[in-house]
Amino acid sequence: MATKVVVHSTFKRLFQVIGFAIVLAAALTGLKKIANRDSAESQAPVLTSERTDGAAASPTSTDANLIFGTSSVLDADTLEIHGTRIRLEGVDAPESSQRCGTLGQEWACGQHAALALSDWIGDKTVSCEVNGSDRYQRKLARCTVDGQDMQVWLVSNGWAMAYRAYSTDYVAAEEVAQAAKLGLWRGEFVMPWNWRKGERAVVP
């Protein structure tokens, strides 16, 4: 009878040891998973849309020579974007007070040119690549609207001239406008650079 008790007690202790071993193995497995997870999280990069120093995130474009936004047309070759005045490089348009045509048939060509450019831009975003500054501290730039070259549009529609003293990039566009008698080319006018020098006699 005593032998039976010993056997029963031995099996009971064996089951207890096995059960403890299973619990211990499960606990160790859980600890290992937690350790691996913590290690992976510590090595993973932190993704955030805000800088940790409290500064605003950088804009999409990091090019310091690119200015873009809604523009105001000051005259047909000068814009203002976010308070920065921009002179369209390579072209020359009539001044805002300039008049064209013959005596008795004059018209405000400077104002018409500016209005034509303003209507063409509308409320679209203007992008300008700055290449320097002029003596009036305006930014000299090549500008686009919806991917279209603003200077090409102005000159090919007769609202500005190729400014040959500084660039010959728009001579071909000017020849197109002249042949089609568009814009200023529909009549007589003084070249803008001569008008600024005081010339008022209208020449073809």
Q: Is residue 58 part of a domain?
A: no
| Residue 44 DSSP label | S
Ramachandran class of 136: left when φ > 0, alpha when ψ lies in -120 to 50, beta otherwise: alpha
Q: Which residues constitute the domain of residue 121?
A: 66-195
80 CB-contact burial (10 Å; exposed 0-12 / middle 13-18 / buried 19+): middle
Residue 105: its pLDDT value, please? 87
Residue 50: its pLDDT value, please? 31
Residue 104: its pLDDT value, please? 82
| Structural contact between residues 121 and 145, judged by C-beta atoms closer than 8 angstroms | yes
Q: Which two tokens stand for residue 96?
A: 């805002």
| Structural contact between residues 136 and 78, judged by C-beta atoms closer than 8 angstroms | no
Q: pLDDT digits over 83-105, tens only?
A: 999 999 999 999 999 999 987 88
Q: Is residue 201 part of a domain?
A: no
Residue 51: its pLDDT value, please? 29
Residue 27: its pLDDT value, please? 52
Q: Is residue 39 part of a domain?
A: no
Give the domain CATH number at 92.
Answer: 2.40.50.90
The residues of the chain scoring below 70 in pLDDT are 1-62, 201-204
Q: Is residue 203 part of a domain?
A: no
In this prediction the pTM is: 0.68
Q: How far apart are CA 106 and CA 71, in angstroms?
A: 29
Q: Is residue 152 part of a domain?
A: yes
- Catalytic residue annotation: 87, 95, 138
Q: Is residue 95 part of a domain?
A: yes
- The closest of 105, 104, 79, 100 to 91, measured between CA atoms, is 79
- The closest of 154, 155, 160 to 173, measured between CA atoms, is 155
Residue 167 host element (H or E): none
Residue 32: its pLDDT value, please? 52
Domain count, the chain: 1
Residue 45: its pLDDT value, please? 36
